[in-house]
Amino acid sequence: MSFKFISAISFRQRLLLSCLGLLFAPMAVNANAATVAEESELKAAFIYNFSLFTTWPKIDKNLRLCVLGAETYTSLLAKYEGRSVQGALIHVEQVASAQAARNCQLLFVDTNDQANEQTMDAINKALEGAPVLTVGESGKVNPASVMILLTQDNGRVAFEINQGAATGAGITLSSKLLKLAKKVH
């Protein structure tokens, strides 16, 4: 009799645990989504801060911070709209092409899937001679094709700098920014 009782309790416990698992599964998914959202917000903050440590040859009254690709970062960067950088006000916008980005000071290339070398070559060709600071994410763009590459380092957001590309575009990156970079090429 005690064996049946233990089996019945064991079955009830398994059933209860299964039901609780089903109830809490969406919370685990939401927690993971929150982590991804927090990482994206942190990357948006990095992008904004890059503008604070960059000097362009000429800025009018607006510093255009542009996003090419998915719109995720456009909305995340919108909270920096109107802030002052080097006497100019940040204006965040989504651009449809690299040609449209020629009038931007900072371009974040946000692709949904792996950007191939031809895509980045086309972007760089369209921006040739324009002082546009290009930023991309590791795993989404070729590291050599952007001036600043956002990366992961032991679970933390880090970045690498292609100083030669920035200097070639007439952009000066602060020595403080260079010191904070994981790697400078």
Token pair 């039901």 in the structure block, residue? 19
pLDDT of residue 12: 52
Taking only the tens place, the pLDDT of each residue in 100-134 is 999 999 999 986 544 455 578 888 999 999 999 99
Q: Which fold has domain 39-184?
A: Rossmann fold (3.40.50)
Question: In terms of Cα–Cα distance, which of 129, 150, 131, 130 is closest to 141?
Answer: 150
Tokens of 145: 């094709």
Helices (H), 59-155: 72-77, 117-127
> CA distances (Å), 156 to each of 40, 80, 150, 153, in order?
12, 22, 10, 5
pLDDT of residue 110: 84
What does pLDDT average to over the chain?
Answer: 82
Q: Where are the chain's structural domains?
A: 39-184
pLDDT of residue 78: 96
Tell me the pLDDT band of 147, cut-offs 50, 70 and 90: very high
What is residue 129's three-state secondary structure? coil
| Alpha carbons 71 and 164: distance in angstroms, whole number | 29
pLDDT of residue 19: 36
Q: Which of 14-18, 92-96, 139-143, 175-179 has the lowest mean pLDDT?
A: 14-18
> CA distances (Å), 130 to each of 56, 65, 139, 144, in order?
10, 14, 25, 18
Taking only the tens place, the pLDDT of each residue in 33-82 is 447 678 899 999 999 999 999 999 988 899 999 999 888 899 999 999 99
| Alpha carbons 50 and 108: distance in angstroms, whole number | 11
% of the chain with per-residue pLDDT over 70: 76
Give counts: helices (H), strands (E), the chain.
5, 10
